[in-house]
Amino acid sequence: MRKTKHPLRMWFRNAPLKIKIALITAFAISLTSMASLIGSFIFMHSYNNLLYQALAGSLSSSAEDISSKLANIESMTNSIISSQAIRKNLISLLDETPSDILDQNVDNMITSSLIDYYQNYKNNDINYISLYNPRFTSSSYKAAISELPDTIRDTVIQAAGENSGYACWITDYCNTYGLFLGRDSRRVQNLNFETLGTVIVSVDLEKLISSSTQSILNNGSAQYILYENGQEIFHSRSLDATQIRVVHEDLQGNYEILMLGGSPYFCTKGKIANNNWDYICLIPYTYIAHTLRLTRYLSFGILLFSILVVFILSRFMIRSITADFASLVDKMKQFGQDESTLPVSEEAYANRVDEAGILHQQFDQMTVEIQSLIQQNYVNEILTKDARLKALESQINPHFLYNALESVNWRAKAIGATDISEMVQALGDLLRATLSHKDGNFTVRHELHIVNDYITIQKIRFDEERLDYQEEISPDILDAELPQMTIQPLIDNAINYAMEVITETCHIILTGYAVDNVIHIKVTNNGSQFEDHLLEKLESGSVKSHGIGIGLLNIHQRIQLIYGSDYGLTLYNTDEDHAVAEIIIPQSKV
């Protein structure tokens, strides 16, 4: 059962070349664009995930920086309470007799030490360092401690006393007065711990968070919410209660983008390990979202622009390619309609080496060869028919003519007319050789038989003493082919033109030899001369042929049609009394 071809497939096969290339190009562009879009979406999704992870990691690093600074503050207080100079002065306040001078000296010494500690640790965003003892209070910044309510100070001192000399963080006042660290300096007296004084460090938590975030993100707009045991202890001043509640309720994972007050925020949560505090950090996501959106639009714009450029360039290139083939198809149609006229050969394709140029060049060459072959066959056929017509112009019925000549021959023999018998017999042989040969070519041997029969007739006609004919033919060319009726017309031409001019003996010499597979056959006669450039004049029509045999031009043209322009007939004079007709043909044997 024959398989039915799909109509769409048949349409595509029969579509013009420019439509096929355009469809293939459009399909390639569409496929590439789709792959680019899918790749862009995958890339953006992966990029967002990486960005979220990077932001979360950076915020986690800022939390670690906060924890590290708080640890440094604890380490600083440990150094303060362990300082031998400070402890010695605090002990002197307890053991020596109270006096203003002693108090002043101790206060000056401790204050100077606290200022040094403050300078060394101020990068940890400390407001001030104070040391409280029963007699007075020393501080790195005494103006600041005067603003601290006594209740808060007493609360910190009490909490520090309950923590047995360990650092104690007071988080109840983070949103108002800041974060406080309290720590007692103690000594063992009579197997009991005795408090020498209490170190209180005030930390600006807002500034601490800002500096820690700035060092990690280069962005001071990050906000924090801190929790201790599930209770909020601090939030950045820019956050209001509604935003804090939304963040607390909506943040489900470790990081997420939330809308607060109509603006996107990137939120992440974690833990400040040193203090066991939980935190939620928020950074504005508007700039990042705008940048990502702009990047996405820019990517799509570049993709669309690239598609447009590819489309325009493809259309231009397709048009340039199809124009070459359209021109070739037009030339084919033109040549198909009229093979006698060569299509116009465009110079633009003459030196091109691409496929289109080669096709145009080969087609132009093919049309020239085809027209040459057509012309050769056509002209050769005309010349052959012309030769046969001229040879047969007196033939009405060959068989009747042969029989009539045979009857004349027998009658001449019967009455003893030997010369008439020979002439009639030679004429019959000549006619048989001329009229009965069916092939296009003779051999040199066959052509010589015709020449000898013709010479026999001419000797009887003109008297044997007036015609001297000689042959000098090399045996190795006797079986070589040559066009039919080639030598005899030259002999005929020599006899007729010489006999018209001279009254003495006409000498005709026929020579033939081969040199380098090229045959040279010369007919030399005395008594006549060839006009200069006679063949060219006969071909142009400036000189009319008036011979009685097949024309010299006919012989020359037939040889060139068969063997090419390197061969043919040459006419020249060796001296003032001798003319030579030379046939030059390639050597080939039957």
pLDDT in tens, 459-487: 877 777 788 999 999 999 999 998 888 89
**Would you state the pLDDT for residue 567?**
93
In this model, does residue 80 exceed pLDDT 50?
A: yes
Is 50 exceeded by the pLDDT of residue 32? yes
Average pLDDT for residues 4-16, to the nearest whole number? 67
Q: Is residue 495 predicted with pLDDT exceeding 80?
A: yes
Where do we find the tokens 């790195």? 140
> What is the pLDDT confidence band of residue 437, given thresholds at 50, 70 and 90?
low
Give the chain's radius of gyration (CA, Å): 63
Range picked from 331-345, 447-461, 535-549 for highest mean pLDDT:
447-461
User: What does the pLDDT average to over 449-455?
Assistant: 85
Task: Report the C-alpha gap between 22 and 314 in whole angstroms.
Answer: 8
Q: What is the average per-residue pLDDT within 211-238?
A: 79
Query: Got the DSSP string for 506-557?
Result: EEEEEEEEEETTEEEEEEEEES--PPTTHHHHHHHTSS----SSS-HHHHHH
For residue range 246-287, what is the model confidence (pLDDT) as tens digits? 888 888 877 788 888 788 888 888 888 778 888 888 888 777
* Average pLDDT estimate for 443-470: 84
Angle of helix 444-462 relative to helix 418-435, nearest 10 degrees? 150
Q: Assign 275 to helix, strand or coil.
A: coil
Question: Who contacts 311 (Cβ-Cβ below 8 Å, separation ≥6)?
Answer: 25, 29
Distances (CA, A) of 306 to 18, 22, 33, 115, 301: 22, 17, 9, 66, 8
Outline where DSSP puts E strands in 133-240: 137-139, 168-170, 179-189, 192-203, 223-228, 231-235
* pLDDT top residue among 292 and 243: 243
Point out the least confidently predicted range of 79-83, 360-364, 507-511: 360-364
Higher pLDDT, 559 or 377: 559
306, containing H or E segment: helix 286-337
Cβ neighbours around 30 below 10 Å, total: 11
Which residues, 6+ apart, have CB-to-CB distance to 149 below 8 Å? 177
pLDDT at position 395 is 44
Looking at residue 192, what DSSP letter applies? Answer: E
Q: pLDDT of 324-356, one tens digit each?
A: 777 777 777 777 776 666 666 666 676 777 777
Helical (H) or strand (E) element with 581: strand 578-586
Quick: pLDDT tens for 11-31: 766 667 667 777 777 777 787
pLDDT at 288 over 70: yes
Query: What is d(CA 206, CA 178) in angstroms, rounded to the nearest whole number?
Result: 8
CA 269 to CA 279: how far, in whole Å? 6
**Backbone region of residue 533 per phi and psi (left: phi > 0; alpha: psi in -120 to 50; beta: other values):** left
Mean pLDDT of all residues in 78-107 = 89
> Rounded to whole angstroms, how far apart are CA atoms 199 and 139?
9
Whether this prediction's pTM lies above 0.75 is answered by no
| Backbone phi, psi, residue 505, to 5° | -65, 135
pLDDT at 562 over 50: yes
For the chain, the average pLDDT equals 80
The model's confidence at residue 537, banded by pLDDT at 50, 70 and 90, is confident
User: Which residues make beta-bridge pairs with 568?
Assistant: 584
At 181 the pLDDT is 94
Q: Mean of the pLDDT values across residues 193-197?
A: 87
More confident residue, 45 or 310: 310
* Structure letter (DSSP) for residue 350: T
Q: Which of 163-167, 178-182, 282-286 has the weakest average pLDDT?
A: 282-286
55-74 pLDDT tens trace: 666 677 778 888 888 999 99
364-384 residue pLDDT tens: 778 777 777 777 776 667 676
